[in-house]
Amino acid sequence: MSKQTSWIAGINAVAAAVEHDADNVREVLLEAGARNPRLAAIETEARRRGIDVRRVAQQALDGVAGGLRHQGAAARYAAAKTWGEHDLAPLIEAAGGRALVLVLDGVQDPHNLGACLRSAAAAGATAVVIPKDKAVQVNATVRKTSAGAADTVPVIRATNLARTLRELQKQGVWIYGLAGDATGSLYGLDLAGNVALVLGGEADGLRRLTREHCDGLARIPMPGGFESLNVSVAAGVALFEAVRQRQAS
């Protein structure tokens, strides 16, 4: 049975798909007459990999982009590699005691998920874990916002998040949840080894069962007086504190 396809749009998203997941790119549409060298580079790479490329009018790109800013590039894309819970253990083992996992407990906004994936990829995260249900999945908007990170960092779709956290703990991964009501500071945690950072959704934060499966809770100190940060900003702060500690160790 053939895979379902959808359109992704934007130079970064299309370029990343062509470079990292060419087998799932069915065709590339580029704006006719556009002289952007990055579009030319996409065309060259796509043709090298045997992908059909068509130059089309801007209106055609507007139609397939679904309201996204396409920047003169779109691609018809089949579902990329689906990562499941069974893929997580080998990824942790391959990290050699320095696994860095971002767990998102119910993020609903595709822009937030895309931004979290971008930060995770930039931080060299081992994987990002999201629930299969009651959370946004990797869609065209997420791919666009992630600037290609959705194709470079493994996104694990967990059927049961609590079970996944237990399995991580069995592999020697310390689980730390970020919560505004926690007494300890993020900067007091040891994030140099196998670590999973868990952040909650935009509205309610960490769910009770998720909190119960964390080895500890911490907050991001905010001397400016705000109670919380956007989840994607908080994820970036936490991930790069781990990066800082790892570079110093």
The residues that bridge with 101 in the sheet, in sequence order, are 127, 196
CB 239 within 8 A of CB 197: yes
5-78 under CATH 3.40.930.10, yes or no: no
Residue 223: burial class (beta carbons within 10 Å; 0-12, 13-18, 19+):
exposed
Query: With the CA atoms of 51, 57, 59 and 62 taken in that order, what torsion angle do they form, in degrees rounded to the nearest 10?
Result: 30
- The 10s digit of each residue's pLDDT in 8-17 is 899 988 998 8
- Tokens 């990170």 sit at which residue? 149
Per the model's pLDDT, the better-predicted residue between 203 and 132 turns out to be 132
CATH of 85-248, one of 3.30.530.20, 3.40.1280.10, 3.20.20.10, 3.90.79.10: 3.40.1280.10
Q: What's the whole-model pTM score?
A: 0.77
pLDDT recorded at residue 1: 34
- List for the chain the helix, strand, coil content (%; round to 5): 40, 25, 35
Task: Kindly state the DSSP code that residue 205 receives in the 8-state scheme.
Answer: B
What span, in angstroms and rounded, lies between the C-alpha atoms of 43 and 28? 8
| Range of weakest confidence among 19-33, 80-94, 135-149 | 135-149
Tokens representing 91? 């990824």
Per the model's pLDDT, the better-predicted residue between 231 and 202 turns out to be 231
- Other CB atoms within a 10 A radius of the CB of residue 161 amount to 25
Tokens representing 177? 């949840």
Tokens representing 71? 């920047």
- Tokens 């908080």 sit at which residue? 234
Identify each DSSP E strand in the chain by its residue range: 5-9, 25-31, 52-56, 73-78, 100-105, 127-131, 155-158, 174-178, 195-200, 216-218
Per-domain residue ranges of the chain: 5-78, 85-248
Half-sphere exposure of 41 (CA within 13 A, CB side): 9
pLDDT recorded at residue 2: 43
Over residues 170-182, mean pLDDT: 96
Residues 6+ apart with CB under 8 A from 245: 190, 191, 192
CB 17 within 8 A of CB 78: no
Question: How would residue 77 be classed by pLDDT, with cut points 50, 70 and 90?
Answer: confident
- The 10s digit of each residue's pLDDT in 193-212 is 999 999 999 888 899 999 99
Q: What is the mean pLDDT of the chain?
A: 91
What span, in angstroms and rounded, lies between the C-alpha atoms of 99 and 90? 11
Per the model's pLDDT, the better-predicted residue between 164 and 17 turns out to be 164
Over residues 169-176, mean pLDDT: 98
Residues 6+ apart with CB under 8 A from 42: 11, 14, 15, 18, 28, 30, 73
